[in-house]
């Protein structure tokens, strides 16, 4: 009876498309929405553009905390990274293209040698008519590959017995030979927030398996695994399209689902992976809070620079305090600026393995042959910008662009896209809005296994949860959480005694403790949740 439940999409996406077997599969070559820059036929694009680190020092340097006025939580960028790791990964090769550091750079050349560089290796590529094409090392589908893998080897390494995912006795992911937490994507241990989401969805898979087994004890291990995988895929699709993308693109930016379209190629575009979907880097906060249920510190907040590839920091508190912190903390403002933790201290200190994420993004765009900002706009049917002030209504941002580039036609696509004013009721500007909307329309329409196109069998109906908040609560000991986890709520709670808990002028998550507590919200939409007392 369970045999019919075991057939589902291939782990590597092979054969998922009925007529174009390479579309969307692991190692498919990314498509281009615009032609490659003329300089990019073997070389780096933008030979006349300024030095990446010099641009970063002027445009991307952020001197202070710039918490967003939009009220988005740190979970917004964390989920964006989680989804990105479901969609694209381009590996690096041996060819070096180091980024020259301006002489006297305060972080990377403090002694003024003029010889410092930031390490950079060009992406693996295939030559097609002299032009470099880039293979996506994971599937392009929104198929939960970051949970299950995009290759049989990765898949086998994380699957357990009884249809479940491998977890240790603490409910944590298994570790690889280097001691890093291991999920379906090789970047699962990149930072503690990402590891927390990977852990939650592995637990969610196992929760679903347990419920399926209760409903039908005759289901085989493979049937349990496949059905749970289908449910998790559908949950991730729903969260992304119903909760996440409306904040990025605005409500209604994507049309209603119209079913599978065999003429639509879901493969990731170079413009999406190399520019537009890197918008989240500007939202990164300088710290990740680790909060107790009542809003107090479960452990000291982690500086973002300490959160990368740090399994010990994750294990110190486990999932719950990190996810409470991501739901509570406000993301940074949307602009071309990055916190110093990633602009100078990414993966280490300057001169000790550290990188500048802004410089890397600029250089990667040139490595992948991206046209300049204005050329890309024109190629996509948008108007060119005649002045820096036309790009951003913020005088400081416009002035930074002018100082760094001097000519509006030299701006790199990633920088210009981040500098644009928000568009269409969403977070990102017009250029990134177009590219991101295009990609998510194609990912959905070009996937014959899309959840809405494949109703779950009766045995699995009603098992899936409806929001990220529900999934987090179902798989942790977090009791109180706002319904929309992508909006920041200030967590405050009572202790064991009788407490009066009064909200702030912002959105609040107020929780009672064991005593008889009074909870009072104020001006914003607050979430009030009682404890064990009255």
**Backbone dihedral region of 499: left (phi > 0), alpha (psi from -120 to 50 degrees) or beta?**
beta
Positive or negative: CA dihedral 268, 271, 274, 275: negative
Of 498, 488, 534, the C-alpha closest to 328 is: 488
Residue of 17, 85, 198, 281 marked catalytic: 85
177: exposed, middle or buried (C-beta count within 10 Å: 0-12, 13-18, 19+)? Answer: exposed
- Cα Rg for the chain, rounded, in angstroms? 23
Q: How far is CA 407 from the centre of its chain?
A: 32
Token representation of residue 291: 């909060």
Q: How far apart are CA 42 and CA 40, in angstroms?
A: 5
Helix (H) or strand (E) holding 288: strand 287-291
Active site residue 85: yes
Degrees to nearest 5, angle at CA 440 with 426 and 282: 45
What is the rounded CA–CA span in Å between residue 125 and residue 325?
Answer: 39
206 near 165, Cβ under 8 Å?
A: yes
CA 394 to each of CA 156, 312, 334, 391, 456: distance values in angstroms, whole numbers, following the listed order: 50, 41, 12, 9, 48
Alpha helices per DSSP H over 216-269: 221-238, 245-249
Write the Ramachandran bin of 503: left for phi over 0, alpha for psi from -120 to 50, otherwise beta.
beta
Cβ atoms within 10 A of the Cβ of 467, count?
18
Collapsed DSSP state (helix, strand, coil) of residue 452: helix
User: Angle at which helices 192-215 and 74-87 pack, to 10 degrees?
Assistant: 70
Kindly state the tokens that stand for 86.
Answer: 């479901």
Annotate 59-127 with DSSP letters as a single string. Answer: IIB--S--B-TT-BBHHHHHHHHHHHHHH----EEEEE-PEEPPTT-TTT-TT--S--EE--EEEP-EE
Residues with catalytic function: 85
């Amino acid at each position: 009876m369970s045999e019919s439940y075991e057939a589902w999409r291939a782990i590597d996406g092979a054969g998922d498309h009925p007529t174009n077997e390479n579309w969307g599969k692991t190692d498919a070559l990314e498509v281009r929405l615009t032609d490659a820059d003329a300089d990019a036929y073997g070389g780096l694009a933008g030979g006349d553009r300024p030095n990446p680190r010099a641009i970063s020092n002027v445009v991307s340097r952020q001197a202070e905390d710039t918490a967003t006025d939009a009220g988005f939580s740190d979970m917004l960028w964390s989920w964006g990274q989680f989804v990105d790791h479901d969609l694209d990964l381009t590996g690096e090769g041996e060819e070096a293209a180091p980024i020259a550091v301006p002489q006297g750079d305060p972080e990377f050349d403090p002694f003024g040698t003029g010889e410092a560089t930031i390490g950079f290796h060009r992406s693996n590529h295939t030559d097609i008519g002299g032009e470099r094409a880039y293979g996506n090392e994971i599937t392009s589908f929104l198929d939960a590959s970051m949970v299950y893998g995009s290759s049989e080897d990765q898949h086998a390494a994380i699957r357990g017995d009884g249809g479940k995912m491998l977890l240790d006795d603490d409910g944590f992911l298994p570790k690889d030979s280097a001691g890093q937490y291991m999920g379906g994507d090789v970047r699962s241990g990149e930072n503690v927030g990402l590891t927390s989401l990977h852990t939650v969805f592995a637990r969610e898979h196992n929760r679903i398996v347990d419920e399926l087994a209760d409903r039908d004890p005759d289901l085989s291990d493979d049937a349990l695994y496949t059905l749970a995988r289908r449910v998790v895929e559908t949950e991730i699709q729903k969260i992304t399209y119903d909760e996440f993308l409306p904040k990025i693109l605005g409500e209604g930016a994507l049309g209603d689902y119209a079913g599978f379209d065999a003429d639509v190629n879901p493969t990731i575009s170079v413009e999406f992976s190399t520019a537009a979907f890197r918008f989240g880097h500007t939202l990164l906060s300088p710290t990740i809070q680790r909060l107790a249920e009542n809003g107090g510190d479960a452990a000291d907040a982690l500086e973002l620079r300490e959160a990368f590839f740090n399994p010990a920091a994750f294990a110190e508190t486990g999932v719950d305090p990190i996810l409470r912190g991501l739901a509570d903390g406000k993301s940074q403002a949307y602009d071309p600026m990055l916190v110093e933790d990633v602009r100078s201290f990414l993966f280490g200190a300057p001169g000790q393995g550290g990188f500048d994420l802004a410089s890397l993004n600029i250089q990667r765009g040139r490595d992948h042959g991206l046209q300049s900002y204005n050329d890309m706009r024109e190629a996509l049917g948008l108007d060119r910008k005649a002045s820096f002030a036309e790009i951003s209504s913020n005088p400081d941002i416009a002035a930074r662009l002018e100082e760094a580039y001097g000519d509006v036609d030299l701006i790199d696509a990633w920088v210009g896209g981040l500098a644009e004013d928000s568009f269409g009721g969403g977070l990102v500007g017009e250029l990134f809005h177009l590219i991101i909307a295009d990609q998510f329309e194609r990912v959905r329409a070009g996937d014959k296994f899309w959840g809405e196109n494949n109703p779950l069998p009766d045995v699995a109906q009603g098992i899936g949860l409806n929001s990220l908040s529900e999934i987090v609560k179902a798989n942790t000991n977090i009791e109180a959480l706002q319904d929309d986890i992508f909006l920041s709520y200030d967590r405050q709670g009572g202790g064991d005694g009788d407490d009066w808990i009064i909200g702030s002028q912002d959105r609040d998550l107020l929780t009672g403790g064991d005593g008889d507590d009074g909870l009072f919200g104020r001006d914003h939409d607050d979430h009030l949740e009682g404890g064990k007392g009255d």
